[in-house]
Amino acid sequence: MLTRPRIEGLGLALLIAVVDRVVKAVMVGPLALRERGLIELLPFFDLRYAENYGVSFGMFTADTMEMRWGLIGMTALIACGVLVWMLRETQRGDILGLGLVLGGAIGNIYDRLTFGYVIDYADFNLGEWRPFQIFNLADVAITFGVLILLARSFKSREKPDETGDDTATENA
């Protein structure tokens, strides 16, 4: 059943996917980041064009067409799992976290289907030191969605009874 929070979660996923697509189009279109390679903005943040053929930190790089389709299939399967989880979830905060993850996944899957790689452009750096790999808005949405889910799962854990008697909660 599509409740209001689930509709909001699906809307958030769609919004993230669309905004991610628009930002990437601006990066390779009007800003010509692919051709320029680098646009220095701040001492600690640049726009730097990168093509990511793998997943986080370049792991599972898809060197062949078969590997590319395998990676697309794997990420699409995970996105479907997130969608099912979202449609079964009842807590609004969890649904919105799942919406962020789903929207980011859709944005990156679109890139893989269209280009064969994910377009990355955000580069936080302190000189030569980069605390993060070059990333994009979809990656940020996925990261924040996972952090929300983790924080909510830690927050919702039941605390054991102060007397040390766990049977009180088991029998309740």
Active site residue 120: yes
3-class SS shares of the chain: helix, strand, coil, % to 5: 60, 15, 25
Crossing angle for the helix pair 92-115 and 65-88, to the nearest 10 degrees: 160
Nearest to 137, CA basis, from 99, 162, 105: 105
Task: Return all residues near 52 (Cβ < 8 A) that are at least 6 apart.
Answer: 58, 117, 118, 119, 120, 134
Catalytic residue among 94, 139, 165, 166: 139
CB 55 within 8 A of CB 136: no
Q: How many CB atoms lie within 10 A of CB 146?
A: 15
* Annotated catalytic residue, options 20, 111, 120, 123: 120
Strands laid side by side in the 45-52 sheet: 38-42, 45-52, 118-124
Q: Is 46 assigned a catalytic role?
A: no
Catalogue the active-site residues: 120, 139
